[in-house]
Amino acid sequence: MKTAHLYRNLGLVAVGIMSMLVTSCEEDIDNTASRNHSEIELTPSGEYIKLDESKPNETAFTLKWSTAHDFGEDYITTYKYEIQLIGSDAENIKEFDDDGEFLRSYTNREMQEMLVDHFGLTTSTIGEVLFTVTANFEGPRLTVPDIATATLKFKTYGPKQYKADILYVGGTAVGDDNVKMTLKDETNRIYSYEGALAAGKINFPVDYADELNAIGPETADASITTSEMASVIADRTEANSWVIPSAATYRITVNMSKQTVKIVEAGAVVEADQLFLAGSAVGGEQIEMVQTFENDQLYAWRGELKAGSLYIPLTFEGEQAMAIVPEIVDNHDIEDGQLATFGQVLISKVDKQYWTIPSDGTYRIVLNKEEKSITIYSAATDLKPLTVSFNNTELGKNPWSQELNVLHMYGGFNSFAYDSGTDEETGKSLKYCQVKYNLIQSTANPKVFVYKGEVLPRNEYKDNYGKTNSGWVNFSTLRYANNGWFVGSTADAIRNSYNGYTEVVAGKVESAVTGQSNNRYAYFLIPEGCNYVVVNLENNTVLFDTN
């Protein structure tokens, strides 16, 4: 490459500029002399230059330009040569030339280093480069510069980029013709395909600029898994493939940003962002099933349904393509109250696979996405809340019967702070608990209660016997009295003698003691950072955790 004389004769240029300023201020401009006589012509050696890594020292590109208009001996002409990569934040390359050599020449290595190292263009990428030559005229009159430009495309070499103009599904599992994938998320460059595949091999051909690449596994003939799989991009003739074990309908996701591929048989796992109830049993509007607090894989709903058909559409990446239905075709029985395995089909097939709700009424539906199980309860088989009986000396009602639909946190963990007001059921003044720490009844199981919220306080508080602990708590059915029905720890405690305290490990299920006995004085010590509590009255267990 000919090295330009960078900023050569800058002193002369500066003098010329000053002369121009003085002249422009003191004399009238001669419009005839200052008229732009545009004569520079740029002659590049090509419009698209693909740099060749195998020939680093060979000339890749030349740019010639013709001389500017000759205004006579009274004028000095200086040429500024400038290179800009369109879209780059890097500083433009600028050179000055007044020696009459109107040529620039670059080898493959020199252009690669300029584009990649200076301008930041990625390897194996096409970039648009703007070349500009400006002739400035210094003389007695102000003369408009002569400017000529040329925009050319360069393709760098090196490691391939995860980029695609078009992405396909290809291989023997597809057949003779590649199938074009759909760009679902332009920002994250996520492509998807859902359809039938045969047993065989599969990879993902890529059309990108002038490249024919393909995305495949790192090793040849790799087995597919149900999780995201790492991938590499290579020349199409060299790319490896995954093996599809059997003919079925598959859902495929290629994430170009994460460089991962997911190939899942449509019925193998449940891929869903939302679950809904639909069918004539629901009516015109779909009803969303809610993810439970106690288990991210568990969804539940309880409400009124009409006699009619029921299926569960899945919304995934903004579309409803699949639905949860009975596993066996033409079996529409809800298997009232029984745990059953479900299947998945395309939405277009729910006219053949659906459940039949036998009569109008209240139903509870519990679906485990991970275990692929569903239970549909009618009013006859529905799970019932726990009803407890204890002496309510505050009201003088012995025994007092109470259906448990909520549990309250009780103890020194919040220094026995309580809300103002009265109990809605009894009219008694509140004394011990705060609503914001209530445990809410699960829709999936009315004997399970969950707190999920802000981190629980762990105040230090001295009990009636002079013992101080941080964050001691148990769970009560009443907010206005301390002689109700409690869920306490297994710690040794005796009423009017001493309290008991159980150290808790976050994430470890603890046994619990229920009733209206010494368990009222047996407490759990909340672990640091705890914001998630599950009380299971079916198993008499308590879990403290972070979530």
pLDDT in tens, 62-93: 999 998 988 888 998 899 999 999 999 999 99
Q: 174: exposed, middle or buried (C-beta count within 10 Å: 0-12, 13-18, 19+)?
A: buried
Is the pLDDT at 282 greater than 90? The verdict is: yes
Domains by residue range for the chain, with CATH: 42-155 (2.60.40.10), 166-265 (2.60.40.3620), 274-377 (2.60.40.3620), 387-545 (no CATH)
Are 264 and 329 contacting, i.e. CB atoms less than 8 angstroms apart? no
What is the reported pTM?
0.58
pLDDT band at 547 (very low <50, low <70, confident <90, very high): confident
Which token pair is 111?
Answer: 């252009």
Three-state SS string over 447-471 comes to: CEEEEECCCCCCCEEECCCCCEEEC
Tell me the pairing of strands 242-244 and 222-223.
parallel
d(CA 501, CA 483): 19
Cβ atoms within 10 Å of 300's Cβ, excluding its own: 20
Are 530 and 516 contacting, i.e. CB atoms less than 8 angstroms apart? no
Is the pLDDT at 26 greater than 70? The verdict is: no
Are 200 and 173 contacting, i.e. CB atoms less than 8 angstroms apart? yes
Q: What share of the chain is helix, strand, coil (3-state, %, to 5)?
A: 10, 45, 50
- Which residues, 6+ apart, have CB-to-CB distance to 520 below 8 Å? 474, 482, 483, 486, 488, 495
Which token pair is 524?
Answer: 């759990």
Tell me the pairing of strands 93-97 and 76-85.
antiparallel
Is the pLDDT at 18 greater than 70? The verdict is: no
pLDDT band at 497 (very low <50, low <70, confident <90, very high): very high
Give 318's Cβ-side CA count (13 Å radius).
5
Strand partners for 346: 322
Is the pLDDT at 498 greater than 70? The verdict is: yes
| Residue length of the chain | 547
Residue of 127, 12, 26, 131 whose CA lies nearest to 75: 12
> What is the per-residue pLDDT for 141?
87
Angle at 132 between CA 128 and CA 138, to 5 degrees: 170
What are the Cα distances from residue 223, in Å, to 1, 203, 205, 243, 470? 51, 12, 19, 5, 52
Tell me the pairing of strands 522-525 and 500-503.
parallel
Q: In what order do the strands lie in the sheet with 182-185?
A: 182-185, 190-197, 248-255, 260-265, 229-230
Report residue 457: phi and psi, to 5°.
-70, 155
Q: 69: exposed, middle or buried (C-beta count within 10 Å: 0-12, 13-18, 19+)?
A: middle
Which token pair is 279?
Answer: 């069918």
pLDDT in tens, 114-155: 999 999 998 988 999 999 999 999 999 888 899 999 999 999
Are 314 and 320 contacting, i.e. CB atoms less than 8 angstroms apart? yes
d(CA 247, CA 365): 32
Q: Which residue has the tokens 């291989």?
A: 171
- Give mean pLDDT, residues 399-415: 96
- Give mean pLDDT, residues 212-225: 95
- Give mean pLDDT, residues 499-506: 96
pLDDT in tens, 329-361: 889 999 999 988 898 888 999 999 999 999 999
